[in-house]
A = this chain, B = another copy of it.
Amino acid sequence: MTRMTVDSERLVRRLKELGSLGVDQDGRLTRLAATDADKLGRDLFVRWAKEAGLKVFIDRIGNIFAIYETRENAGTAPIMMGSHIDTVINAGKFDGCYGVLAGLGVIETLMAEGIYLARPLVVAAFTNEEGVRFTPDMMGSLVYVGGMDVEEALQAVSIDGKLLGHELERIGYAGKLDPGFLTPEAYVELHIEQGPILESLGIQIGVVENLQGISWQRIAIDGVANHAGTTPMGLRRDAGHAAAKIMEFVHELATEYNTEMVGTVGSIHFEPNAINVIPSRATLTVDLRSPKEERLLTAETALADEIISISNALGVSVRSETLARTQPVQFCNDIVDRIERVVELGGFKSMRITSGAGHDAQMMARLCPTAMIFVPSAQGISHNPDEYTPDFDLINGANVLLGVATDLARTH
């Protein structure tokens, strides 16, 4: 048999075209959810979907669904692909958009080949995955699976003081359908890895079997500001020193758990932040992630204990506040196995991998069997104009998605 393939030239061209929309005055790609820039991206995707002959539906939270169904399979639970097309500030062209456009390409290929499918195919573009303009992130898929009330979500206020509901109406994407109107038979999301593992190991396809739980905390340490030259070490209550100890602990904790945890202190602030003054206050954030909930719980407890011991030892007071907390998600074994079989047939090098970032798939997993496919990210860079995946890897990933979607839509 001649192997079907997604139109690679078209996929690459579309990624480039979509990535050229929503460039702000500083030259940065920035399509925050429900802005004019987001509307430009949405309109383009909808135009492509309609030009391909798909029916396009919008639900009340602004999620877009492009559906390919035939007379024979209409009414049966579809196979859904998708991701998001909103971006962060100063984004790359691949995050989210790749999964959406590859999904569209898969459907176009199957339509062109006239392949019989027992189930409809849908490609979804979920609203506000990035969570930059409205909180929480992955909002469209969260609402879709019933994890957040749609009315509450539409009342979300943006960083620029606007209501999401009004903004969706304004840009013409406040649909009528209730989120969850379609219950897919399966959901598969193709995405760039946004991490360095695949590239560093020379592997083309990551078969994503689970997604890390995330624990975000903000830690505020109060000590006493004093003159750096005149305060003996033993009389100090140095908030900065306590911060350093917490940073070291987070690093050691994550390193000890090896592949089962990552831990990061990404932001820090001292007050008064002067060379010759002992910091009176240090504020830092801790990002802990693990594919295993019990690991995450143990790490959170260990950190809390360490904070008490540091605050006692250094005479500072420490408060920690949870900024975000999600549990790990286990993807569907059956779909993971199917992805691996498709990868084997295609002759790609693959590995099972854990998603370190959050994705719409983690929400969809509450609704239906779900898994993800990763392609390499150059140097692991993402959320940055330097985000890059070579065309060759983009095509490979799209063709794996094609194989998996076909497999799922044919056999279920």
Contacts and interface: CB of A to CB of B under 8 A. Distances in A.
Interface of A: 193-197, 200, 212, 214, 216, 224-235, 238, 240-241, 243-245, 247-248, 251, 254-255, 258-259, 261-270, 273-279, 285, 287, 289, 323, 355-358, 379-384
A209 to B, nearest CB: 15
A5 to B, nearest CB: 28
Contact of A255 (B224, B233, B278): B233
B214 A287 contact: no
Contacts of A273: 266-269
A137 B274 CA distance: 16
Stoichiometry, copies per complex = 2
A197 B226 CA distance: 12
A265 B287 contact: no
Contacts of A382: 227, 230
Contacts of A197: 230, 232, 235
Contacts of A285: 275
27 contacts: A194-B229, A195-B227, A195-B231, A196-B226, A196-B230, A196-B232, A197-B232, A227-B383, A228-B264, A228-B266, A228-B356, A229-B262, A229-B355, A229-B356, A230-B355, A230-B356, A230-B382, A233-B262, A233-B263, A235-B380, A241-B251, A244-B244, A244-B251, A264-B278, A266-B275, A275-B285, A275-B287
A251 B237 CA distance: 12
B230 A380 contact: yes
